[in-house]
Amino acid sequence: MTPIPQLQKWDSTLDLLRDPYRFISRNCQNQQSDLFEARLLLQKTFCMRGQEAALVFYNPDLFCRAGAAPKAVMKTLFGQGGVQGLDEDAHRHRKQMFLSIMTTEQIDHLEVLTERQLSAAVSRWKEMAEVSLYEEFQRVLTIAVCDWAGVLLADSEVELRTRQLTSLFHDAAKIGMGHIRARMARRQTNAWITDLIKQIRARQISLPAQSPASTIAWHRDLKNNLLDPQAAAVELLNLLRPVVAISVYMTLITHALHFHPDCRDKLKSGSEEYVRAFVQEVRRYYPFFPFTAAIVQTYFEWNGFEFPRGKRVLLDLYGTNHDSRIWKEPELFQPDRFLQREPTPYDFIPQGGGEYALNHRCPGEWITVSLMKLTTRFLTQKIHYEVRDQKLEIDFSQMPALPRDQFMISSVRAAGIQPVATSTSQPHRVQI
């Protein structure tokens, strides 16, 4: 067997935390290998990248997910008892529940609700001296997704629930107080949604049978038992949280439009094909998930390397989307590349790879693309705004990675309305 390259540091956790999106690719390049071993969180871990690695990683006969994610992640981002930690028949059965929600009609309905909230937000933004788009997108999506899912949300709750749902993904990977905020948000949102599940089952709340909250509340496992109320709450949050997390991509769309005005001009034409290509390039080019984890469940060999049972493995998502063997000039932002080729489930993996029904690929990807297309049309055809001088380089040391000032805009007005004054701000050279 070929020896697996190993990092010389006794533990590389701090290096990973300093640059989570590029840690694996950088070390793969240094080792001249698509696979290396590093000690992370005191545990020896294989790190791999590339299309061939993804093909192996998403083979359900070779890898499982139970126990793969660190406990800190399960207690904040994913929640305990959710679909992310299931395997084999239990995973496929639970995944079908989510796939049943992802119908064209349901996704279109969420898009309509989101567009309604974006339009309402413009009236508020026009009165604000400065708008933090990342925070405003969080609010828009919280209201829209709760309405869509059948989660009752009073006006007085919007700020609190937006903050809690955002903390589940924005603070999950932080150290210190940020992580504590995420833990608190997980406890609070679990209690909130568990109570909702109990009310639905007690028929104290009447919801359409096809609503996501109702679908999850009445879902039965392989033994024909209703899910534990806490587990059902985790799964409903596994719809709410990821939709609010699309606020990251919406902010990155704004970033891409600012630094690539030629794309804005093309998008104004309204070509659906180009809008889709632009959205897919944002998903490929910008950081979202850095990597995903699994556990080897049966010994196998790959490219001359041995994978022992029980070994934890990380697959580099961001690095695979920037692999020069797959993508020509991967560090350039070029939406046209998606007009020329159709990606596969293993070379374009911003939200995981493989097949939706069989693997741990996020079924919410369809919602992500739909709402990103809506955001692109909204920003290019529905409103005008100014961008002041600010720090817009992407901060790769944070998860999620965002512009350092999270993108501030001002002088917001509906399309077709002339500005009162002309901005003197100049565009920046992007650093990402």
Record the tokens describing residue 403, joined without a space: 């512009």
- To which residue do tokens 């024909």 refer? 224
Compute the C-alpha angle 280/351/140, nearest 5°.
75
Using DSSP bridges, classify how beta strands 312-316 and 43-48 pair: parallel, antiparallel or unpaired.
parallel
146 is in an annotated binding site: no
Interatomic CA distance for residues 338 and 295, integer angstroms: 33
Closest CA to 30 of 18, 21, 42, 22: 22
Sequence-distant (≥ 6) Cβ neighbours of residue 35 within 8 angstroms = 4, 5, 28, 46, 47, 48, 53, 303, 305
Q: Is the dihedral angle over the CA atoms 190, 192, 196, 198 positive or is it negative?
A: positive
Instruction: Find how far residue 321's CA is from the centre of its chain.
Output: 14
By the 8 A CB rule, do 381 and 264 touch? no
Q: How far apart are the first and last CA of the chain?
A: 38
Distance, CA of 388 to CA of 130 (rounded, Å) = 9
Query: Positive or negative, the Cα torsion across 83, 84, 85, 91?
Result: positive
- List residues bridging with 293 in a β-sheet: 314
How far apart CA 336 and CA 353 sit, in angstroms, is 22
Q: Could you tell me which residues are annotated as the binding site?
A: 362
Binding-site annotation, residues for heme: 362
